[in-house]
Amino acid sequence: MRTPHFLTTVPLTATEIESLIDQASRFLTPTGLAAIPPSTFAQTNGNESRIVLAFYESSTRTRLSFETAAHRLGARTVIFDSSTSSEGKGETFLDTVQTIDAMGFDVLVLRHAQNGIGELISASTSMSIVNAGDGTNCHPTQGMLDASALRERLGSLGGQRICMVGDVRHSRVARSQVDVLQKLGAEFAICAPESLLPDDERFAAMPRFDSLDGACEWATVISLLRIQRERITTDVVPSMDVYRERFAMTSDRLQKAPNITIIHPGPVNYGVEIDEDVAASAQSLIRRQVTHGVAMRMTILDSILQQRNAL
Ligand code: CP
């Protein structure tokens, strides 16, 4: 059997996705996380599993929720600080991974700016790689937690109409949301300025809106996306006034769409894509998405540790 990884949601079937969401739901209460003894979960040869978190890009919720999830499973975590690593002295990324591997870690949770880097190194290490976001490629645990939070709120994803609004072009979250939620029966549309529209094939057949007003008439869910300025090198974004007028989920817009559910992976930019009172409203799942993030990452890490024990 091969080392298990969690690099993308693409190989998962709808049944497998539903099963992971079911498992994650056991770790949730209506307002937070359930207290479950760590002894319930997989260990490594009877000892605490060891998980290293290597984030080469900024993160608050993904890094902390993986760390929280690992601790809830009774695993030990170590943070790798990419800004002070020996890559600054010329060591290659692969050497870095193999050096970490030689210290006996079970899982490497990796965020990196390069698309597909987890896949690239996965055959060169005995650690299981969990993709915590790679470039514009995908953010598989985010797609899974979004599906989990939406299923809890809406009951079923079948027939839901989800409009992604904002910087779809540079969004790894959008790519994972589409993969996971389409398999569960949701339809997608896009609402973005011309310069932030994606050009890959998977988005080609989706309805497009050039203003959130039209999108709100179509959608049951609005998935807001931050402008990914760290991936934009030229001045392609319209003026903030124009952007806000056409693409921001403002309080006024929300009042006219009382049945719409709002999701956002975070971090949010208030006054740009969303107003503060929209994020805090009962229609918003933003904080609940974060809680689902811990539950889903517990589920994925535990599944990987179980699969490793069966090797
Ligand atoms: N949603 C998300 O990936 O947030 P962070 O960048 O804070 O981890």
| DSSP, res 90 | T
Average pLDDT over residues 51-78: 97
Task: Look at domain 140-289 and name its CATH class.
Answer: alpha beta
- Burial pattern 33-64, b for ≥16 Cβ within 10 A else e, equals beeeeeeebbbbeeeebbbbbbbbeebebbbe
Helix, coil or strand: residue 266: coil
3-state SS string over 161-208?
EEEEEECCCCCHHHHHHHHHHHHCCCEEEEECCHHHCCCCHHHCCCCE
Rounded to the nearest whole angstrom, what is the distance from the C-alpha of residue 111 to the centroid of ligand 1? 10
Neighbouring-strand partners of residue 130 = 6, 109
Q: How many helices (H) and strands (E) does the chain have?
A: 11, 9
Cα end-to-end span (Å), the chain? 6
Q: Is the CB of 136 under 6 A from ligand 1?
A: no
* Listed residue (173, 101, 128) closest to 6, CA to CA: 128
For ligand 1, atom 6, which residue shows the shortest CA distance? 59
pLDDT in tens, 177-198: 999 999 999 999 999 999 899 9
Percentage of residues in the chain having pLDDT higher than 70: 99
Torsion angle of alpha carbons 190, 188, 273, 215, nearest 10°? 70
Asked whether 265 lines ligand 1 (CB < 6 A), one says: yes
Q: Which ligand 1 atom sits nearest the alpha carbon of residue 64?
A: 8
- Residues 3-15: what's their mean pLDDT? 98
Asked if the domains 14-136+290-310 and 140-289 are classified in one and the same CATH topology, the answer is yes
Read off the pLDDT band of 38 (50, 70, 90).
confident
pLDDT band for position 1 (cuts 50, 70, 90): low
List, for residues 77-123, the tens digit of each pLDDT value: 999 999 999 999 999 999 999 999 999 999 999 999 999 999 999 99
Q: Where along the chain do its domains lie?
A: 14-136+290-310, 140-289
How buried is 233 (Cβ within 10 angstroms: 0-12 exposed, 13-18 middle, 19+ buried)?
exposed
Q: What's the rounded mean pLDDT across residues 221-227?
A: 96
What is the per-residue pLDDT for 229?
78
The single residue listed with the structure tokens 């170590």 is 78
CB 167 within 8 A of CB 226: yes
Coil, helix or strand for 110? strand
Instruction: Please state, in angstroms and rounded to a whole number, the distance separating the CA atoms of residues 69 and 76.
Output: 10
- DSSP-derived secondary structure for 20-75: HHHHHHTTB-SSSB----GGGS--BTTB--EEEEEESS--SHHHHHHHHHHHHTT-
What is the reported pLDDT for 39?
A: 84
Tens of pLDDT along 142-180?
999 999 999 999 999 999 999 999 999 999 999 999 999
Q: How many CB atoms lie within 10 A of CB 139?
A: 27
| pLDDT surpasses 80 at 231 | no
pLDDT (tens digit per residue) in 68-80: 999 999 999 999 9
**Confidence (pLDDT) at 230:** 79
∠ CA(201), CA(215), CA(21), 5° rounding? 70
Residues 268-293, mean pLDDT to the nearest whole number: 97
Burial of 3 (0-12, 13-18, 19+ CB in 10 A): middle
143 lines ligand 1 (CB under 6 A): no
Closest residue CA from atom 5 of ligand 1: 59
Q: Does residue 276 carry a pLDDT above 90?
A: yes
CATH superfamily of 14-136+290-310: Aspartate/ornithine carbamoyltransferase (3.40.50.1370)
How do beta strands 107-112 and 221-225 pair?
unpaired
Residue 267 CB–ligand 1 contact under 6 Å: yes
Specify the ligand 1 atom closest to the Cα of 58. Answer: 6
Is the pLDDT assigned to residue 240 strictly greater than 70? yes
60 lines ligand 1 (CB under 6 A): yes
